[in-house]
Structure 1
Amino acid sequence: MIKIINHKQMGKSERGWLHSIFHFSFAEYYNPKNIHFGVIRVINDDIIDAQSGFPTHPHQNMEIISYVVKGTLSHQDSMGNMKELTRGQVQYMSAGKGVTHSEYNLKDDPLRILQIWILPDKEGYEPNYGDYNFNWDERVGKWLEIVSSTKGNAPIKIHQDINVFVTELKEGESISYKLEEGRQAYLVQIEGQGSINGVLIDEKDGVEIQDESMITLKAITQSHTILFDMREN
């Protein structure tokens, strides 16, 4: 089953400096039928205006991934980490027993990031931070695995049975992905327009994928996509 979630029908928030689309219930957007998909609790598509951002705030018992789409993300946390990340780079923070951090756009251009929260396989882990500077070309025309479980092979490993891939396709190019038995997936069309198993997907749309053994993406325009492969509910 392929279910397209049109981004125009998603939750939204406008806070002056922050412009957000919520794939799942978050902040002022609450839909009891749309709390999560599998172990994904949050996917927020955030645009942060220049010289603004999130001041220091706490997190606990959540695996947090930030994927930079455009601009520069400046991170600082209570574990002593300070980092700037740019397009295509990935930051990971296991909040575990508790951590505080800030995220800012200190540049003069807008910053677009995907803020992703994944439920951990248990609570109470020691807080941890990591980031990775992926070469952009590693995702062009192929799947680049950016996140896996602690037993997986990705450079960034989290406390959950989930694999995260990204790809960029040229106009007219196609790529397939096999879902093993007992697995489901969620996909975000980050940039561009494409189709999945022949069904049109627009920029910023989400896709729930269940009871499918194979999916095929085709780029209608140049296309940038992220895919989450996880156990079924």
Structure 2
Amino acid sequence: MIRKIDHKNMGRGQHGWLDSHFHFSFAEYYNTKNINFGVLRVLNDDIVQPNRGFDLHPHQNMEIISYVVDGELTHQDSMGNKHTLKRGEVQYMSAGTGVYHSEYNLGDENLRFLQIWIFPDKEGYTPNYGDFRFEWEARKNKWMEIASNEDDDAPITIHQDVHVYALELEAGKDIDFTVANGRQAYLIQIEGNSLINDQSLETRDALESVEEDLHIKAESTSHFLIIEMAKE
């Protein structure tokens, strides 16, 4: 079973310096029928203006992944980390028993990034931070695994039975993604236009798949992220 999510019907948060599309209930957008998709709790597509950002704030018992689409994301936290990431690079924070962090755009251009929150498999982990500067070519016309649990060998390890992949697919090319029995996946069309199982997707659209394989054809060069997990 698949279901397309049109970005024009997503929740919105518009605050001048910040323009957000909310895939699930978050902040001022609340929909009792759209809280989560399995262990995926938050997916925000954020555009942050230069020299603005999210001030220091706390998190607890959540696995948080940030995927930079454009611009520069500067992270600082109470564990002493301070790093700046650019297009295609990824940071991970396990909030565990509690951590404070800030996220800023200190660059000259708008920052666009995907903010992803995943429920951990249990509470009380020791807080942890990491980032990975993936080569862009590693996702060209093939699935590049970004994160998974400790049973896999993805560059980023998270505390949940989840696999996160990125892909840039050139116009006219196609590729498959398997969603096995007992599994489900959430796909984000980050950039471009595609045809997926006869569904047309454009930039910022999403697709839910439950136990149904995906056949993806890029109508223009397309950039995707997939979060695959156990069926809800």
TM over 0.5: yes
1:172-210 residue CA offsets vs partner (Å, 9 max, x unmatched): 110101122211100000000001112111110111101
TM-score with structure 1 length normalisation?
Answer: 0.98
Q: Which residue pairs with 2:27 in the alignment?
A: 27
Q: Quote how far apart the aligned CAs of 1:211 are.
A: 2.8
Q: Which residue pairs with 1:44 in the alignment?
A: 44
Match of 1:11, as an amino acid? G
SS of corresponding position for 2:138: helix
Contact 2:170 2:218 in 1 (8 A): yes
Q: Which residue pairs with 1:225 in the alignment?
A: 224
Q: Quote how far apart the aligned CAs of 1:151 are.
A: 1.4
Matched residues, percent identical? 58
Match of 2:149, as an amino acid? S
**C-alpha distance in structure 1 between counterparts of 2:211 and 2:162, whole Å:** 17
Q: Quote how far apart the aligned CAs of 1:76 are.
A: 0.4
1:28-84 residue CA offsets vs partner (Å, 9 max, x unmatched): 000000000000000000000011001100000000000000000000000000100
**C-alpha distance in structure 1 between counterparts of 2:8 and 2:2, whole Å:** 18
**C-alpha distance in structure 2 between counterparts of 1:125 and 1:144, whole Å:** 27
Q: Which residue pairs with 1:108 in the alignment?
A: 108
Q: Which residue pairs with 2:203 in the alignment?
A: 203
Match of 1:3, as an amino acid? R
**Stretches (4+) displaced over 4 A:** none
Structure 2: gaps (5+ residues): none
**C-alpha distance in structure 2 between counterparts of 1:134 and 1:168, whole Å:** 13
SS of corresponding position for 1:68: strand
SS of corresponding position for 1:137: helix
**C-alpha distance in structure 2 between counterparts of 1:148 and 1:125, whole Å:** 16
**C-alpha distance in structure 2 between counterparts of 1:28 and 1:55, whole Å:** 18
Q: Which residue pairs with 2:166 in the alignment?
A: 166
Match of 2:9, as an amino acid? Q
Contact 2:148 2:157 in 1 (8 A): yes
Q: Which residue pairs with 2:153 in the alignment?
A: 153
Q: Which residue pairs with 1:120 in the alignment?
A: 120
**C-alpha distance in structure 2 between counterparts of 1:228 and 1:120, whole Å:** 14
**C-alpha distance in structure 2 between counterparts of 1:140 and 1:173, whole Å:** 11
**C-alpha distance in structure 1 between counterparts of 2:161 and 2:18, whole Å:** 31
SS of corresponding position for 1:176: strand
SS of corresponding position for 1:145: strand
SS of corresponding position for 1:115: strand
SS of corresponding position for 2:120: coil
SS of corresponding position for 2:163: strand
Match of 1:4, as an amino acid? K
Q: Quote how far apart the aligned CAs of 1:94 are.
A: 0.1
SS of corresponding position for 2:207: strand
Contact 2:180 2:211 in 1 (8 A): no
What does 1:91-102 correspond to in 2, within 5 Å? 91-102=91-102
**C-alpha distance in structure 1 between counterparts of 2:132 and 2:112, whole Å:** 18
Match of 2:200, as an amino acid? L
Q: Which residue pairs with 2:187 in the alignment?
A: 187
SS of corresponding position for 1:88: coil
Q: Quote how far apart the aligned CAs of 1:16 are.
A: 1.1
Q: Which residue pairs with 1:56 in the alignment?
A: 56
